[in-house]
Amino acid sequence: MARVGLTPERLTRAGAELADEIGFDQVSVSALARRFGVQVASLYSHVKSSHDLHSRIAVLALGEMADRGAEAVAGRAGRDALIALAGVYRDYAREHPGRYAAAQYRVEPGSAAVEVGRRHSELSRAVLRGYELGEPAQTDAIRLLGSVFHGYVSLELGGSFDHSSPSGSDSWPRVLDALDVLLRNWPERQPQ
Amino acid sequence: MARVGLTPERLTRAGAELADEIGFDQVSVSALARRFGVQVASLYSHVKSSHDLHSRIAVLALGEMADRGAEAVAGRAGRDALIALAGVYRDYAREHPGRYAAAQYRVEPGSAAVEVGRRHSELSRAVLRGYELGEPAQTDAIRLLGSVFHGYVSLELGGSFDHSSPSGSDSWPRVLDALDVLLRNWPERQPQ
DNA sequence: CCGTTTGCCTAAGATCTTTAGGTATGTACA
DNA sequence: TGTACATACCTAAAGATCTTAGGCAAACGG
């Protein structure tokens, strides 16, 4: 009966920690209840469902990454900004693999998700301010940056780079250098 | 009692189809048994566990993609090969979203998984034959290609490009053009 | 035709999700 | 200070999934 003080926010934060410890898809309402020393059904006053819990963790993770990203691009431009923002994603994924997996969770386009998604686009757009790109090149470049950041980090975290050298950490700065070169020589006119 | 003729292979194929229909993480031993009109426990003679089933579907998907990739790069070089291989991944993901999700499934580094992973590296390496890159640039470029292919396709499939224009299909060829430009101007020396 | 293999079965325990309704705790107000 | 209300957490229960153990009968080899 002792009241534990559950709230949606505390459950979400604890769920995120749990995700980092045991993996996002091992996070369950049951496991979370166990962690709080509380009956499973009690959580359903605070989260609507297992899906709701997972969605909240996803939005939390996306928000945390966006916060770090904003901090990283502030006062930086061009190549420095590119490297800083890229580092945010990679470091976050390595520090918080469960949360990073959560950020991939397919959350229905309701409010929070779309808005935090836009924050991430804006971060890439801010980096591109240092490279003069018109439209549609700018949007294309935003998507390329997002693809490389997410793709590289996913593959590395998934172990795809484990069975060859150099290490993922060695390639990373050179890949970013290459991206920097590309952004400075973006083909605005049809190259064919 | 009528024997249905279950085998690990048939279960895996049916599981892959099911994944495309209802989503990879909705694929369960139970759902598969239902589809075969068979008791759940019967499947356990053919697959070791739910995890085993999912892993088999993952390896199947990776293998199918590698087959298509090999077909695509055969007889093509440079930019043509790049566009063809990239199209393989994107088209496969759009035709078979469940299988594509399966290919991301974290499968422990046992035999088949590592080997099929290497096939994918080799495809990128084949594309790079058209661009003269030494080491470590070549490995870096392989990783960049993998990152862009996987990242772009994941983000597009996840709906990240839905709320802005141009469409994901419009950006795609221009992103590939940019990649082609980058591969032809890869910074082999430290650019700083 | 018989024996062996094995494919699919029933049965059962464990875990997770979710809903319905009850109890007691903390708060607000007289 | 006592009482009434809101609600935080509870018990109970049904349904789904995963997994193991052991049984029956169909297919196959001799």
Taking only the tens place, the pLDDT of each residue in B74-129 is: 999 999 999 999 999 999 999 999 999 999 998 877 778 889 999 999 999 999 99
**pLDDT at position A189:** 67
CB contact A22 to B (< 8 Å):
no
B97 cis-preceded (ω within 30 degrees of 0): no
Distance from CA of B4 to the nearest CA of A (A): 33
B124-135: b (≥16 Cβ within 10 Å) or e:
bbbbbebbebee
Best residue of B171, B179, B190, B192 to probe chain A, by most A CBs closer than 10 Å: B171
Nearest CB to B178; choose among A164, A168, A182? A182
Query: Is 1.10.357.10 the CATH number for A8-184?
Result: yes
- A16: part of which helix (H) or strand (E)? helix A8-22
Per-block average pLDDT, block size 10, for chain B (192 residues)?
87 98 97 97 96 96 98 97 98 98 88 88 95 93 98 96 93 98 87 48
Distance CA(B93)–CA(B70), nearest Å, equals 16
Distance CA(B56)–CA(B12), nearest Å, equals 6
Q: Judge if the beta carbon of A30 is closer than 7 A to nucleic acid strand D.
A: no
Q: Flag if B136 and A177 touch (Cβ within 8 Å).
A: no
**pLDDT at position B106:** 85
Q: Judge if the beta carbon of A6 is closer than 7 A to nucleic acid strand D.
A: yes
**Cα distances (angstroms) measured from residue A52 to each of A55, A114, B36, B131, B155:** 5, 16, 32, 48, 21
Q: How far is the CA of A15 from the C1' of C29 (A)?
A: 38
Average pLDDT, rounded, for chain A: 94
Taking only the tens place, the pLDDT of each residue in A51-79 is: 999 999 999 999 999 999 999 999 999 99
Q: Judge if the beta carbon of B75 is closer than 7 A to nucleic acid strand D.
A: no
Q: Where are the alpha helices (DSSP H) in chain B?
A: 8-22, 29-36, 50-73, 78-95, 97-103, 112-128, 137-157, 168-184
Respond yes or no on whether ipTM tops 0.90. Answer: yes
Nearest CA in chain B to A107: B158
* Residue spans per domain, chain B: 8-184
- Please report which confidence band the pLDDT of residue A165 belongs to, taking 50, 70 and 90 as the band edges: confident
Distance CA(B180)–CA(A57), nearest Å, equals 38
Distance CA(B88)–CA(B119), nearest Å, equals 14
Distance CA(B110)–CA(B122), nearest Å, equals 19
CB contact B111 to A (< 8 Å):
no
